[in-house]
Copies of this chain bind each other. A is one copy, B any other.
Amino acid sequence: MNQITQPPLTGANLVAGTERRASGAVTYTGFDPRTGTAGSVAFHEATAADVHDAATAAAAALASTHAWPVARTVELLTAVADRLEDRAGAIVPVAELETGLDAGRLTGELARTVAQLRMFAAFVASGDHLEAVIDPPDATRVPPRTDLRRMMVALGPVAVFGASNFPLAFGVAGGDTAAALAAGCPVVAKAHPAHPSTSELCARAIVDAVAAAGFPAGWFSLLHGTGGEVGGLLVEAPAIAAVGFTGSLRAGRALHDLAAARPRPIPVYAEMGSVNPLLVTQAALRERGDAIADGLAASLQMGAGQFCTSPGLLLVPTGEDGDAFVDRLAQTLRDGPAGCLLTVGIRDALVRQLEQTRSLPGVDVLVEGGEAGVAPGAFLTATLLTAPAAAVVATPDLVEEHFGPASLVVRYGADEERDAVLNAIEGALTFTLHAGAQEGAELAPLQWRMADRVGRILWNGYPTGVAVTPAMHHGGPYPATTSSLHTSVGTAAIRRFQRPVAFQDAPQEALPPALRDGNPLGIRRLEDGVWTGGRTPKA
């Protein structure tokens, strides 16, 4: 059978272009969740010295490149994209072995990963991300106005913690890394221990791209660690300026708390998943109930339910149409295949959580998920629970995310019952409305109330699937993220890793080209209140 070993895998930490395997270091391996088979490569947990060296090398690398034009960043992003694309044949099979996700999905995910790097390259090439603003001097004002010019600069070295559920698009070379590199920041990535080989392959693509693009080797490092220790040291490293994280609420909050307690606090952009409520109206059921049930079943089973936007709470009207809808959804899930979860640990955690949830007052089981007949490996069939609205309002545990193939149906009668359930939901990434064709205006107020607690509102769709485009917002109020001001997907994701600097009365020769007279870069700038120049890329 296949082993998780592919040509260039070494199990080393990659610190500023060097391989680090401390003698006596703890090692770990990946596992194929479909079989439980361990990989043959021993990955070395990073030492405190590895963490320190990676962070300080990143800071030194940044300090040596201040005068570099943004064209260099475009070159680097493109070089990473090219290498990932070239190595798809090596990366996809390894990711498949480590995650149980199928090759089709992973091939698509790699394409998305490459596409988002190229999107950032085009965005950076446009110079729009510099947000250049120029206030010309005005001696006639009281007090006289000086010459003032502002632009965005790199925030500093970024620590990236990728997700288990998107080993490529939200992994070592994923969205956070792409956004940080686009902002002009070096990156120290922590490999996800559920896919260390995939992490190393993606990291090597970046390491090679860094060298090819002529960046200092400290621009990128990869660290391994299974517990919280390596990640904690990384977040506490003085040279680290920001943290990008995708994962669980528990881990994200822990990193947030560490970062906030530093002598010099730094921002943590943690995207921690959410319950993603989905509401179906009576009119929608009448118009297209079967289609919604089928679409929803597909959305729920996507990636074995391991999408951060997986719909985890379904509000369905009481009555016959609602009964038929729930029956159809339940039957489709019952007939569906068992999904392979990313790790045995994730499966076990979900099984335990579902046991607890099922024991809560009022909860009934509509579809009995389970492992029966599909061992070995981390397979699980979908679970569909139901609970009365009053129980959901009374029991906060019922509106928590169940990461994996599980969802909760809540039937509602009056609008007040519907609203009470929605009010019980904490910050979420998405809220989905399935409405009748004539209900847009009527539901607008409900939509606005939900806009207070979610980042994206979908009409008549399914929240799984997050387009990488300028208008995307993938974020939301806590506990969906630790910073509701920012998105982790789309061009705006770059803002997390930038800060403004203003230059007052600087001589032309000391100004960065982006702010010089005559706009030598031809970028979009706000000059004396007038937008000029620019070549904003088409999405």
Q: Which residues of A contact B (CB under 8 A)?
A: 62-63, 66-67, 133-135, 143, 145-146, 148-150, 153, 155-156, 256-257, 260-261, 264-265, 267, 426-427, 435, 440-441, 443-445, 447-449, 451-452, 454-461, 465, 467, 469-473, 475, 477-479, 482-485, 487, 492, 495-496, 498-510, 524, 526, 528-531, 534, 536-539
**Most-contacted residue by chain B among A146, A455, A473 (CB, 10 A):** A473
Which among B445, B455, B539 is the interface contact of A529 at CB below 8 angstroms?
Answer: B539
How far is A64 from B33 in the complex, measured between Cα atoms in Å? 50
Provide a sorted-by-A list of 17 A–B residue pairs whose CB atoms are within 8 angstroms.
A135-B469, A145-B469, A148-B472, A150-B471, A150-B492, A155-B485, A256-B265, A456-B501, A456-B502, A457-B506, A459-B505, A473-B502, A475-B499, A528-B539, A529-B539, A531-B531, A531-B534
Give me 10 other A-B pairs in contact (C-beta within 8 A), A66-B451, A456-B504, A459-B505 excluded.
Answer: A67-B444, A135-B467, A150-B492, A156-B452, A444-B509, A447-B506, A475-B499, A477-B499, A485-B496, A524-B531
Shortest distance from the beta carbon of A507 to any chain B beta carbon, whole Å? 3
Decide if B146 touches A467 in the complex (CB within 8 Å). Answer: yes
Decide if B455 touches A501 in the complex (CB within 8 Å). Answer: yes
Shortest distance from the beta carbon of A392 to any chain B beta carbon, whole Å? 20
Decide if A148 touches B505 in the complex (CB within 8 Å). Answer: no
Decide if A440 touches B509 in the complex (CB within 8 Å). Answer: yes
**In the complex, residue of chain B having the shortest beta-carbon distance to the beta carbon of A156:** B452
Decide if B470 touches A526 in the complex (CB within 8 Å). Answer: yes
Decide if A149 touches B448 in the complex (CB within 8 Å). Answer: no
**In the complex, residue of chain B having the shortest beta-carbon distance to the beta carbon of A538:** B529
A264: chain B residues at CB < 8 Å are: 426-427, 477-479
Which among B443, B461, B499, B510 is the interface contact of A441 at CB below 8 angstroms?
Answer: B510
**In the complex, residue of chain B having the shortest beta-carbon distance to the beta carbon of A474:** B502
**In the complex, residue of chain B having the shortest beta-carbon distance to the beta carbon of A262:** B478
Decide if B66 touches A507 in the complex (CB within 8 Å). Answer: no
Decide if A529 touches B537 in the complex (CB within 8 Å). Answer: yes
**Most-contacted residue by chain B among A145, A256, A459, A495 (CB, 10 A):** A459
A461: chain B residues at CB < 8 Å are: 146, 504-505
Decide if A445 touches B503 in the complex (CB within 8 Å). Answer: no
The 5 closest A-B pairs by CB, nearest first: A440-B507, A529-B538, A260-B260, A66-B448, A473-B502
A447: chain B residues at CB < 8 Å are: 506, 510
Decide if B66 touches A471 in the complex (CB within 8 Å). Answer: no
A469: chain B residues at CB < 8 Å are: 135, 145, 148
Decide if A471 touches B502 in the complex (CB within 8 Å). Answer: yes
How far is A503 from B478 in the complex, measured between Cα atoms in Å? 19
A530: chain B residues at CB < 8 Å are: 536, 538
Decide if B471 touches A148 in the complex (CB within 8 Å). Answer: yes
How far is A427 from B263 in the complex, measured between Cα atoms in Å? 12
Decide if A459 touches B531 in the complex (CB within 8 Å). Answer: no
Shortest distance from the beta carbon of A85 to any chain B beta carbon, whole Å? 16
Decide if A475 touches B504 in the complex (CB within 8 Å). Answer: no
Which among B67, B455, B482, B538 is the interface contact of A500 at CB below 8 angstroms?
Answer: B455
Shortest distance from the beta carbon of A351 to any chain B beta carbon, whole Å? 27
**In the complex, residue of chain B having the shortest beta-carbon distance to the beta carbon of A264:** B478
Shortest distance from the beta carbon of A370 to any chain B beta carbon, whole Å? 32
How far is A426 from B264 in the complex, measured between Cα atoms in Å? 10
Shortest distance from the beta carbon of A69 to any chain B beta carbon, whole Å? 13
Decide if B501 touches A473 in the complex (CB within 8 Å). Answer: yes
Shortest distance from the beta carbon of A280 to any chain B beta carbon, whole Å? 15
Shortest distance from the beta carbon of A300 to any chain B beta carbon, whole Å? 18
Decide if B134 touches A471 in the complex (CB within 8 Å). Answer: yes
A506: chain B residues at CB < 8 Å are: 440, 447, 457, 459
Shortest distance from the beta carbon of A125 to any chain B beta carbon, whole Å? 13
**Most-contacted residue by chain B among A267, A452, A472 (CB, 10 A):** A452
Shortest distance from the beta carbon of A532 to any chain B beta carbon, whole Å? 11
Shortest distance from the beta carbon of A428 to any chain B beta carbon, whole Å? 12
Q: A498-B485, A505-B461 are in contact. Are A66 and B150 (CB under 8 A)?
A: no
